Amino acid sequence: MESWLNELTVQLCFSPNTISAYGRDLLDFKNFLAMHNGEEPSLGILRNLKISDFRSWFSHRVSRGLTARSNVRALSAMKSFFNHLARRDLIDLKTINSVRRPKLSVLLPKPISEDVIMRFLDLKYFFDQDPNWVTRRDRALYTLLYCTGLRINEALNIKTNDLDREIRILGKGKKDRIAVLLPLALDRIHDYISACPHDLYGGFLFVGIRGKRLHASYVDNRLQKLRLLHNLPNHASAHAFRHSFATHLIQHGADLRSVQELLGHESVSSTQIYVDVDDYSLLKVYQKTHPLAKRSR
């Protein structure tokens, strides 16, 4: 297990979140096998696994409330681990390769509407008890997320000294891409920097009250509270700004390949889902506004 996790980290450059999730999935499988067979797993047990053993594991996970999406990731983790063993001639892949991927319903990303985002970004304050510089910080961060489509951790990892019209971003899988900052985003960031009581140069751009780097959980926790205060949709989160960025670009005519590059997606199929969102929105408008839609069957 340690050798495999090290391979994911050093050679394959998986993200820390993926490595953590894969590690949990393998540990879950190990614990299940111990319960299922009444003994600690060994290479001998792994070599003799049947498809039914994997199905039992998936059923056990579902009974604990885990979703099909979680099982898809867990199977991916198992295949990665078994391939690691196979490359060392410790096991064959016949059984694991015969395990079918759990059926997964396609969940369309939920963007925030343009008018709601524009109104939100121009609020005089988000929390009335916040110091002025915190309001400017949050406005700069939300504007940055919406105008670049950055993942929240990508935004929070920006160093002040790297700030420019174009910023090199280290994304998932340690892949580089360029994020272009619109003038409004740059203006709001500089407005925040000028008001911030902490020395930001040489360190992270977005900091908390004590001058330490902000964490994604803190940002989403604040947004969760802001939903009620400012009538935001229930799905409003830091990642929803990324969904909104991509969806609104496509709705205004951006081509799929350009949006793929801006988002840092390795495959265009990952970006295609935003076209599906646009098609779904168009269908809802059609069904709501066409004269025949108002007539009963």
Considering only residues 127 and 68, tell me which one the structure prediction assigns the higher pLDDT: 127
Name the band, by pLDDT with cuts 50, 70 and 90, for residue 9. confident
Structural domain includes residue 108: no
Query: How many helices and strands, by DSSP H and E, does the chain display?
Result: 14, 2
Q: pLDDT per residue over 266-276, tens digit each?
A: 776 667 666 65
Q: Which two tokens stand for residue 162?
A: 């790297």
Indicate if 94 and 119 belong to the same structural domain.
no
Per the listing, tokens 């590059």 go with 261
Indicate if 161 and 260 belong to the same structural domain.
yes
Residue positions annotated with a catalytic role: 151, 172, 239, 242, 265, 274
Name the band, by pLDDT with cuts 50, 70 and 90, for residue 290. very low
Q: Does residue 241 surpass a pLDDT of 90?
A: yes
Indicate if 123 and 269 belong to the same structural domain.
yes
Indicate if 93 and 126 belong to the same structural domain.
no
Indicate if 17 and 118 belong to the same structural domain.
no
Q: pLDDT per residue over 243-253, tens digit each?
A: 999 888 888 77
Q: pLDDT per residue over 44-93, tens digit each?
A: 999 999 999 999 999 999 889 888 878 888 988 999 999 999 999 999 99
Q: Does residue 154 surpass a pLDDT of 90?
A: yes
Structural domain includes residue 179: yes
Structural domain includes residue 60: yes
Residue numbers of the domain that contains 93: 2-98
Give the chain's mean pLDDT. 86
Among 153, 149, 167, 279, CA closest to 218: 153
Indicate if 93 and 167 belong to the same structural domain.
no
Name the band, by pLDDT with cuts 50, 70 and 90, for residue 285. very low
* pLDDT the model gives residue 260: 83
| Number of separate domains in the chain | 2
Indicate if 80 and 119 belong to the same structural domain.
no
DSSP code at position 169:
E
d(Cα 110, Cα 205) in Å, to the nearest integer? 28
Indicate if 131 and 172 belong to the same structural domain.
yes
